[in-house]
Amino acid sequence: MIPPRRHLPSLSGLLALEAVDRLGTATAAAADLNLTPGAISRALQEVEAQLGVTLLIRDRQRLRLTSAARDYVAEARRALAVLGQAGQRLRAGGGGESLLLAILPAFGMHWLAPRLRDFRVAHPGVTLTLTTRLRPFDLEGEGFDAAIHYGRADWPGAEHLLLMAEEVQAVCAPGFLPAPLVAADALLALPLLQIESRTGDWGRWFAAQGMVGQRPGGMLFDQFATMQQAAVHGLGVALLPTFLIGDDLAVGRLVPAWGGPVRAAGSYWLVWPKGVPPRPAMAAFRDWITGQAAG
């Protein structure tokens, strides 16, 4: 049920308050929303009058939200995200069903995308909207129907479907090693490449080779695709998921530096909000991807 209108501020005031909380000044908020600073000030005064609460502390050139206002904006930001996703779903659906899915860039490109034509053929009435995400987020609060998550079955408030356990392999460019390595510990003297969100991966790889307690450093990357190209061009030895490097190994762009694949710490999961009956499009996608994972 929709609450009384007196509890619902204008959308322009809410957007202005959110922008000021994020950016700190009316001038920055105005540039972000393509308005004038005067329009931002009027919108802020309006939202304070509508709610009957002081929301802002005016300190010279900066605006600071009160503690209660920051809590309010955090809730409002989630509601705005849901509204935005609902509009995106409406536009994407074109009168049919739609599905909003958050995906990881590398997994989405190399595992999911090659399979999606099969889903489209089986379910021509469903329009998929894919958004790549690297950082954690509130699945229900941001309005996605589902997400593909790396790690363990521990996403809060979500159901989990295992898609694939991950294996990683130490690889490098064919000319990077002047001679074959005689032992795994020789890698410690070489430049190592790693993902900034998984800096413990090399330690686990060395432990799998019988070398417990190693925590080597190395060049950091925020995405596998960039690190993969760095390895291809001879910047170092990279620890990469096997599903990413099949083609590179097959044509010789990359070669194993030492040993074979090693089980990684996490797996890939499809997650969706717990306790919410899935819409038909979501149920169809879940059943389809279950078959893809099994295959």
Q: What is the DSSP string of 143-162?
A: T-SEEEEEE-S--TTEEEEE
Whether 133 and 16 map to the same domain: the answer is: no
Express each pLDDT in 58-101 by its tens digit: 776 677 888 888 888 888 787 777 676 666 555 554 445 888 89
What pLDDT does residue 95 have?
A: 46
Tokens 């099949």 correspond to 246
Q: Report the domain count for the chain.
A: 3
Q: Which pLDDT belongs to residue 51?
A: 83
pLDDT for residue 47 is more than 80:
yes
- For the segment 252-268, the average pLDDT, to the nearest whole number, is 94
pLDDT in tens, 118-163: 999 999 989 888 888 777 666 766 778 899 989 999 888 889 999 9
Q: State the Cα–Cα distance between residues 294 and 286, nearest whole angstrom.
A: 12
Question: Strand 158-172 vs strand 262-273: parallel, antiparallel, or unpaired?
Answer: antiparallel
Rounded to whole angstroms, the Cα distance separating 231 from 280 reads: 43
What is the model's pLDDT at position 93? 47
Q: Which of 82-96, 141-155, 218-232, 272-286 has the highest mean predicted lDDT (pLDDT)?
A: 218-232
pLDDT of residue 127: 87
Work out the number of other CB atoms within 10 angstroms of the CB of residue 60: 5
Q: Which residue has the higher pLDDT, 31 or 239?
A: 239
Containing H/E element for 215? none
Both 34 and 114 in one domain: the answer is no
Q: What is the pLDDT of residue 201?
A: 92
pLDDT at 291: 94
Q: Are residues 134 and 20 in the same domain?
A: no
236 Rama class: left (phi>0) / alpha (psi -120 to 50) / beta: left
Beta strands in 60-114 (DSSP E): 62-65, 97-103
**pLDDT score at 18:** 85
Give domain status of residue 92, yes or no: no
Q: Based on the fold, state whether residues 157 and 139 are members of the same structural domain.
A: yes
User: What pLDDT, on a 0 to 100 scale, did the predictor assign at position 242?
Assistant: 95
Q: What is the mean pLDDT of the chain?
A: 86
172 and 158 within one domain: no
In a domain, 83, yes or no: no
Residue 90 falls inside a structural domain: no
User: What are the tokens at 87?
Assistant: 């509009």
Supply the range of the domain harboring residue 289: 97-164+267-294
211: in domain: yes
Query: Does any domain span residue 242?
Result: yes
Q: Is residue 124 part of a domain?
A: yes
Does 177 lie in the same domain as 255?
Answer: yes
Which CATH number fits the domain that encloses residue 188? Answer: 3.40.190.10
CB burial of 226-248 (b: ≥16 within 10 Å; e: otherwise) equals: ebbebbbeebbbbbbbbebbeeb
How far, rounded to the nearest angstrom, does the alpha carbon of residue 219 sit from its chain's CA centroid?
Answer: 22
Question: Of how many residues is the chain composed?
Answer: 295
